[in-house]
Amino acid sequence: MMNAALQKQGIDNILYIAVDVHPRDLRGFVSSAHLMNFIGFNVTIPHKVSIIKHLDRLDRSAELVEAVNVVKVMDERRIGFNTDVAGVLACVPEPVSGRAVVLGVGGAARAAAVALNRKGYGDLVFAGRRKSTMDEFLRFARRKGLPIRVVKLGSKPFAEAVESAELLVNATPVGMAPNINASPVPAKLLHKRLTVFDMVYNPVETKLLKMARASGAKAIGGLDMLVAQGAEALKIWLGIDGDIKTMKKAALKALQRRRS
């Protein structure tokens, strides 16, 4: 996706590559990025929060979310940004009742909290599994002045929140390849008044999205968010506007190759 955008711009001296970094190696990778001629890099699970302590400065976008998914390398300085908020804003509809439920309490959920609040969703419920991470997310929300509630995933309050919600967001990796038969919620909780937005983009059509459509709900996949946040990253690194159509076409082609 990113290389297709670079080629579209006629940039042939920059290559976007995937690097698998174990948590124990994160500090070493970040500190040596300039030595490997990186001008920047994306950050994904599980490093979006833990990378912060290894950076020299945070842009306002990352300060707001307290999570980083884009790093710009400037000489020996590393600056953290967050483009996930822009990605969420590009995908979610305008609120009606303002009631939304978000699955997850990690870095992606932080971006969702900021984005949905900015979009006008005033009744936000976040669902997690572990008390420690739920409490940490609640402290984050309080620091940012975000009006949210946190409930246990699968509990009665969770089911009640989904029943009255107009928007359900999956900000967890549940359903991501290779575990494509997994869903973060049972089909019985989904209803036709919902819009279901799954941040997972591989596969393009997750089990959650299939169940959402079967229930009569509107379904939005994570590919559009992936493309939107990627285009924002290109602006940060190179000051260029990535061609959205070119990027989405390339991403779809790559995902289809993986499936085959």
Catalytic residue numbers read 48
Cβ contact 52:58 at 8 Å:
yes
* Phi, psi torsion values for 83, nearest 5 degrees: -110, 0
